[in-house]
Amino acid sequence: MKKRPIKNDSKTINGWALFDWANSAYALTIMVAVFPPYYEALTNGQAFLGFTNTALYSLSISLAYFIVSIQSPILSGIADYGGKKLSFMKFFSTLGAICCIALFFFDSADRIVLGIAASVLAAIGFASSLVFYNSFLPEIATEDKMDTVSAKGFAYGYIGSVILLILNLLVIQKPAWFGLPTEGTLAVRLSFLMVGLWWLVFAAISFRRLPQDIPTPTSNNLVQEGIDRFKGIWKAVKAQANIKTFLLAFFLYSAGVQTVIMLASLYGSAELKFGQSELIVIILLLQIVAIAGAYLFTMISGKKGNKFSLTIILLIWMAICISAYIVTEKNHFYIVIVFIGLVMGGVQSLSRSTYAKLLPEQTDSTASYFSFYDILEKMSIVTGTLVFGFIDQLTGGMRNSILSLTVFFMVGLFFLLKVDMKEKSQNLSTKFQSK
């Protein structure tokens, strides 16, 4: 019998939130702000293996998330069955951090294989570790504290990533201040090294504070047991309409959310002609405002409930898409960005805590349950960006694409309103466990 951790312990919660501080540096510096333009400049429009440099990079990221989607269900089942949740979280986190460090050695187009391989493995490490990280939420917090704890995690992530990005940008813009050459790529590549070290150091603190693994007796065929555990959870999810309805709503509105987040700076560049320095300001503005948004909607949720708060958020997202379609001035777009940041933090934080509240109270399969959440989030990215790109190609502009995302929010809201937050899910995973 596993010993359940003490819930609402401040040291444990702060340690859990610190993991977001650790790995969000990757999300902001490597995925968004520094590595993509560095890769584009270094490879300089060259073709590789029959692909353009940008197509190769996009396809490599798609491959990374496809691999995560395939492996997460099996690994989460193994983690739940064998009591190895923290071990998997450590492995993938360390993999991601080391691969960020490896990007330091990506200093010419001749080393594109290194650059692509390291970026793919870093993405796999980042995305896979989040499955196990998210699954700790219902273990460390009671239902009445989940919204606040989830918001703290996102807030720590936004703050930590902004701090490191500002430091890295300072080194990149003013290398001479730090005794670095003003020519070449060393200053930029040092930012990749810093992300990896930052991730390793702060994640180590989280690992010491999170509930430690308590291995359980297992059969020799651990992979099969993991698959069986996942099948049992899948059957349990299908049998519980409330969880199923929320996951459908989450998938739909997340397609809109993730697409806007990933393409907001590109939209500003293409449609409103923002320069590189202006785009950096947009990225930082998004992160900073998102901190306030996470706590604002947590407060609203505490007074009016999760569903009410998420409803307001989705209505604002619809207004954002319509506004982005209309605006033609840069100053007006900055206002749109502020609102994106405000609801970006709120929707991510409350979606995670809302799902955690819907899970059975006594389940020991939180990693398996959250693997569904994670897979749907990844699939929503693919769906949203494909729709966005298709409409852009069809109509010859991104404005129609951004307007079309309102459909995801509208239909997502329709299903969200059907979720009963007062209905507690039953622990059916044992009943449906495959033999």
39 closest CA partner among 50, 28, 26, 53: 53
Greatest Cα-to-Cα distance within the chain, rounded to the nearest angstrom: 65
Which pLDDT belongs to residue 434?
45
> Measured between alpha carbons, how far is 86 from 90 in angstroms, rounded to an integer?
6
> Measured between alpha carbons, how far is 106 from 49 in angstroms, rounded to an integer?
18
* Fold that domain 9-211+219-237 belongs to in CATH: Growth Hormone; Chain: A; (1.20.1250)
> Measured between alpha carbons, how far is 70 from 307 in angstroms, rounded to an integer?
30
> Measured between alpha carbons, how far is 379 from 398 in angstroms, rounded to an integer?
21
19 vs 74, 96, 130, 354, 374, CA distance in Å? 23, 13, 9, 20, 17
Question: What are the residue ranges spanned by the domains of the chain?
Answer: 9-211+219-237, 240-419
Extract the tokens encoding 285. Answer: 């503005």
Domain 240-419 in the same topology as domain 9-211+219-237? yes
Which pLDDT belongs to residue 273?
81
* Fold that domain 240-419 belongs to in CATH: Growth Hormone; Chain: A; (1.20.1250)
Which pLDDT belongs to residue 9?
94
* pTM of the predicted structure, to 2 decimals: 0.82
Paired strand residues for 48: 51
In tens digits, the chain (435 residues) has pLDDT values of: 445 568 899 999 999 999 999 999 999 999 888 888 888 788 886 767 777 777 787 778 778 888 888 887 777 777 766 678 899 999 999 999 999 999 999 999 889 999 999 999 999 999 999 988 988 998 899 989 999 999 999 999 999 999 999 999 999 989 999 999 999 899 999 999 999 999 999 999 999 999 988 766 655 566 666 677 667 777 777 778 888 999 999 999 999 998 888 777 767 777 888 876 787 888 888 888 998 998 999 999 999 999 999 999 999 999 999 999 999 898 898 999 999 999 998 998 999 999 989 888 777 677 778 888 888 888 888 788 788 878 887 887 788 988 999 999 999 999 999 998 876 555 554 454 544
Which pLDDT belongs to residue 145?
92
CA dihedral over 190, 98, 45, 262, signed as positive or negative: negative
Please tell me what DSSP assigns to residue 5.
P
